[in-house]
Amino acid sequence: MTHSSDISEVLNCVNKRFIHEDSTSGLWWCKDIEDMENVGLNAVCKSSLADWSDLSGSAECVEFIKKFHFVLVAVPPGQEQQTIASELAARFSVFVCVPNDEAWHGCDSIRELREKYGHKAAERLLFGCREIPVNGLLNISDVSEKPQNSRNRTFSGLPLLDLLTGGFFGGELSVWTGKRGEGKSTIVSQLVPEALARNKRTCVYSGEMPAEKFKQILYQQTAGAGYIRREVDQPTGKELYRVKEAVIPQLDRWMNSRVFVTDIRTANAHDEDNILSLFEYAYRRHRCGVFIVDNVMTAALKDEARLGQWRAQSLFAARLVAFAKRFDVHVHLVAHPRKTRDGNFDADDVSGSSDLTNRADNVFRVGRIPEDKVEEMGCSAGIRILKNRQFGDKGTVKLEPVFNYIPTGKV
């Protein structure tokens, strides 16, 4: 039974003549018809054949309940009272209250209460009753003045970037953007050893790179220049750089059971649901605290054909935000800009429309500095902070020759 238009199908009352909507006694919600009859005035109970969804699906029922100043759950203490109170508060957004337990004198019904303690005992159920708070509405005086920052925090390893952003907190999403080939994936993969250095495990979806290639690049970054050897590819003469073989076992031991990468060779490797399912497993089984999606363009998104690419990406970002908040982890998402014209672009130019970056806590652009600006900036590449929800700082962090910050004001 759904969307009933007849209130009598979902709600029982003694007689319409005993319903006074302007009464200061409010609406008494009883556990059954017998108790309802013992109250008399303004007494109702849910029909035994109706579900709570039937009540909230009936426009007439919703309108009827909201006409009263309050709803008293006139049900003895116990699970049934808790269920009725929570359902009323959640579904109808009305002032719901329950009597103090002592007011029932150990009785199991209003009929028993009246028989043992008289009519006045039933009326006194109203005295000193307590309100059931509505979920989602806070009294400002009950709110702590100190923000509850997550203890799950990692850093970029770039001192000035960390200084400006405060690092990467659990429950947040960071979006990294920039033109193709200008360093997004390189910067984001460097976050892995930084997380490990702070004892945070990491899970990575690398949509364009098989696990072997990802490992090669990650180990090169982690080993550092002193442990890299140069090779020359004989057929082409191209210079190649490899991690020295003696170092690899040490890196394997350090990263063992601490860094995980999704296997893009599997049939559903790029499926949106599969990515999130693997992420959740990595959190629950291995307690990963940092997650990387590189990049959103390679994911097979739900309803992309119907919603369009940008809208589907935005909704995927929303799911990543929900995942981050649910498990108090940080998610890094690589996204290409929607346009690649020369010059600067802002957060609204990131793929997925402005909705994607609206959902993000941080938005960074990684890229080369235009040649005519290199001398002025003192570097050839940088990370531009397009959005930082925590502090609101914007600016460019130089990547060479030294890290430096060029302030550009507040958001």
Residue 306 and residue 232 share a domain: yes
Mean pLDDT across the stretch 109-113? 94
Tell me if 320 sits within 8 A of 333, measured CB to CB.
yes
The answer to whether residue 144 is domain-embedded is: no
Give percent of the chain above pLDDT 70.
87
- Backbone dihedral region for residue 217 (phi beyond 0: left; psi -120 to 50: alpha; all else: beta): alpha
Residue 201 and residue 336 share a domain: yes
The answer to whether residue 2 is domain-embedded is: no
The answer to whether residue 41 is domain-embedded is: yes
Residue 229 and residue 179 share a domain: yes
Compute and round to an integer the Cα radius of gyration of the chain.
Answer: 30
Total domains, the chain = 2
pLDDT 10s digits, 196-235: 999 999 999 999 999 999 999 999 989 988 898 988 888 8
Residue 318 and residue 362 share a domain: yes
Residue 377 and residue 317 share a domain: yes
Domain termination residue (choose one: 89, 104, 135): 135
The answer to whether residue 146 is domain-embedded is: no
Average pLDDT, the chain: 86
Measured CA to CA, the distance from residue 375 to residue 187 in angstroms comes to 23
Residue 326 and residue 400 share a domain: yes
Measured CA to CA, the distance from residue 305 to residue 264 in angstroms comes to 22
pLDDT above 50 (res 3)? no
Identify the band that residue 409 occupies on the pLDDT scale cut at 50, 70 and 90.
very low
- pLDDT at position 338, please? 64
The answer to whether residue 145 is domain-embedded is: no
| Domain hosting residue 165, numbered range | 153-410
**Better pLDDT: 62 or 370:** 62
Closest to 361 measured CA to CA, from 147, 166, 144, 163? 166
Domain termination residue (choose one: 135, 166, 195): 135
Domain with residue 257: its CATH number is 3.40.50.300
Residue 53 and residue 200 share a domain: no
Domain with residue 39: its CATH number is 3.40.1360
Helix (H) or strand (E) holding 286: helix 272-286
Q: How many residues does the chain have?
A: 411
Q: 216: exposed, middle or buried (C-beta count within 10 Å: 0-12, 13-18, 19+)?
A: middle
pTM here is 0.68
Measured CA to CA, the distance from residue 45 to residue 10 in angstroms comes to 9
What DSSP letter does each residue of 6-67 carry, written as one string?
Answer: -GGGTEEES-GGG--TT-TT-EEEESSHHHHHHH-TTEEEE-TT--HHHHHT-HHHHHHHHT
- pLDDT at position 201, please? 96
Show the tokens assigned to 359.
């959902």
Residue 224 and residue 289 share a domain: yes
The answer to whether residue 68 is domain-embedded is: yes
Mean pLDDT across the stretch 380-406? 76
Domain termination residue (choose one: 75, 103, 135): 135
Residue 308 and residue 177 share a domain: yes
- pLDDT at position 5, please? 47
- pLDDT at position 407, please? 41
The answer to whether residue 1 is domain-embedded is: no
Residue 126 and residue 163 share a domain: no
Classify each residue of 89-103 as buried b or exposed e, where b means 16 or more C-beta atoms within 10 Å of its C-beta. bebbebbbbbbeeeb
pLDDT above 50 (res 371)? yes
Mean pLDDT across the stretch 240-265? 94
Mean pLDDT across the stretch 328-345? 75
Residue 179 and residue 123 share a domain: no
Residue 168 and residue 44 share a domain: no
pLDDT 10s digits, 276-317: 999 999 999 999 999 999 989 999 998 888 888 888 999 999
pLDDT above 90 (res 114)? yes
The answer to whether residue 147 is domain-embedded is: no
Closest to 328 measured CA to CA, from 175, 105, 170? 170
